[in-house]
């Protein structure tokens, strides 16, 4: 049987919750504590194979291996930027690839993770937007991304991750269930134990799911990829705005904040002669005042082959930001990292996305 077909016939051991593991052990005549040992191997020791679980008997490992496997991500290759950023191409068990990025600064070690193989939103300025969406990442694959980036951070910088941003490939709110389950594991004391306040989920704007985040009382931060101050311009660069316009997003963000009081930020890439005028800044100010947003992140545009957009001159950027500041907008310029290896905002894309 071909490997892919064989793996599809097997079951993912990481999808078996601890109570189910306990029932499984009882049915096999094993003591209850074996379930906790398996759970620890999977989520704390990050076992890549059932045979790695050396405190289980050989016979129990063989029984488990008859039905279950562990579909861990594999590091395909890494690229190293002159600024210390590391971009990684990760291979999934079915032959697809995603990219994720480790971004080091003096104060933070940030993992930028992907949630989908490709993307369906077709944002005109984003390299991932020109790819087809092949599939969602499973919850355990997202956890693998974080685990691999944490190991990379320890290896190269002798530090653990301090922050996680869902700003890689794909729209996380269109993979809601897996994203939420991954964050549960990442923040669990029995998982990676990271504070949810150090996690930011970035969305292109799915109003219904933003409200769902509020209903679910999430504790992580939310960032809206805004990039235009009105519907006309946003429709041009982000097709999702046609079904999730700014009024709908303002309503959803206010609903989210009322339910959670979590930090909200706007992400705003400046494009030359498109959204960088003082008139655009005034429209952005009005939008900012309609939402309890903590911050506007002004982002440098990073050119990609398929898009016609350009980066504004530095004096235009300064004038735009000064105008926001004078109007009491909390604004910050986010300098791009990893541009020399196409690891910066909007540049993540895989050359070959065909499954083996």
Inform me whether the pLDDT recorded for 155 exceeds 50.
Answer: yes
Which two three-digit tokens encode residue 264?
A: 């909200």
Which two three-digit tokens encode residue 50?
A: 């059932």
Q: Which of 275-284, 319-328, 346-355 has the lowest mean pLDDT?
A: 346-355
pLDDT for position 128: 79
* Residue ranges per structural domain of the chain: 3-69, 74-341
Name the more confident of 131 and 335: 131
Inform me whether the pLDDT recorded for 60 exceeds 90.
Answer: yes
Rounded Cα distance, 186 and 200, in Å: 13
Whether 345 is catalytic is: yes
The angle that helices 176-187 and 139-157 make with each other, rounded to 10 degrees, is 40
Tell me whether strands 295-299 and 331-334 are parallel, antiparallel or unpaired: parallel
Confidence of residue 132 (pLDDT cuts 50, 70, 90): confident
Rounded Cα distance, 164 and 282, in Å: 31
Q: What is the pLDDT of residues 234-264, one digit of tens each?
A: 999 999 999 999 999 999 999 999 999 999 9
Inform me whether the pLDDT recorded for 347 exceeds 80.
Answer: no
Residue owning tokens 């923040």 = 187
Whether 99 is catalytic is: yes
99, 138, 171, 267: which is the annotated catalytic residue?
99
167 touches 345 (CB < 8 A): yes
pLDDT for position 66: 94
Tell me whether strands 68-69 and 97-104 are parallel, antiparallel or unpaired: unpaired
User: DSSP character for 67?
Assistant: T
Rounded Cα distance, 296 and 97, in Å: 32
- Which architecture, in CATH terms, is 74-341? Alpha-Beta Barrel (3.20)
N-term to C-term CA, the chain = 14
Q: Name the pTM for this structure.
A: 0.89
pLDDT for position 354: 40
Inform me whether the pLDDT recorded for 219 exceeds 50.
Answer: yes
Q: Is the dihedral of CA 52, 55, 57, 61 positive or negative?
A: negative
Confidence of residue 339 (pLDDT cuts 50, 70, 90): low
Query: How many CB atoms are closer than 10 A to CB 302?
Result: 21
Inform me whether the pLDDT recorded for 348 exceeds 60.
Answer: no
pLDDT for position 122: 87
- Which architecture, in CATH terms, is 3-69? Orthogonal Bundle (1.10)
112, 119, 126, 345: which is the annotated catalytic residue?
345
């Amino acid at each position: 049987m071909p490997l892919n077909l064989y793996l599809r016939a097997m079951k993912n051991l990481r999808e078996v919750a601890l109570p189910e593991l306990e029932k499984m052990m009882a049915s096999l005549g094993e003591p209850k504590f074996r379930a906790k040992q398996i759970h620890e191997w999977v989520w704390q020791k990050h076992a890549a194979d059932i045979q790695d679980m050396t405190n289980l008997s050989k016979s129990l490992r063989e029984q488990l291996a008859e039905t279950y496997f562990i579909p861990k991500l594999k590091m395909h290759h890494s690229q190293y930027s002159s600024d210390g950023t590391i971009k990684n191409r990760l291979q999934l068990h079915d032959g697809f690839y995603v990219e994720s990025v480790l971004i080091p600064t003096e104060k933070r070690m940030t993992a930028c993770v992907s949630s989908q193989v490709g993307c369906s939103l077709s944002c005109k300025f984003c390299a991932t937007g020109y790819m087809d969406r092949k599939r969602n990442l499973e919850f355990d694959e997202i956890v693998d991304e974080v685990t691999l980036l944490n190991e990379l951070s320890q290896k190269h910088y002798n530090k653990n991750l301090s922050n996680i941003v869902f700003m890689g490939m794909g729209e996380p709110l269109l993979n809601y269930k897996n994203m939420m389950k991954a964050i549960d594991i990442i923040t669990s004391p029995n998982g990676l134990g990271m504070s949810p306040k150090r996690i930011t989920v970035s969305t292109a704007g799915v109003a219904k799911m933003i409200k769902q985040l509020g209903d679910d009382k999430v504790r992580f931060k939310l960032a809206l990829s805004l990039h235009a101050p009105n519907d006309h311009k946003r429709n041009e660069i982000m097709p999702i705005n046609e079904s999730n316009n700014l009024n709908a997003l303002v309503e959803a963000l206010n609903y989210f904040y009322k339910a959670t009081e979590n930090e909200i930020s706007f992400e705003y890439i400046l494009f030359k002669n498109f959204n960088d005028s003082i008139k655009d800044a005034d429209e952005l100010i009005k939008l900012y005042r309609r939402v309890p947003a903590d911050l506007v992140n002004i982002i440098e545009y990073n050119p990609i082959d398929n898009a016609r957009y350009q980066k504004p001159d530095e004096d235009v950027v300064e004038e735009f930001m000064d105008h926001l500041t004078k109007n009491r907008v909390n604004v910050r310029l986010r300098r791009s990292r990893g541009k020399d290896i196409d690891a910066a905002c909007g540049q993540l894309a895989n050359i070959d996305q065909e499954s083996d």
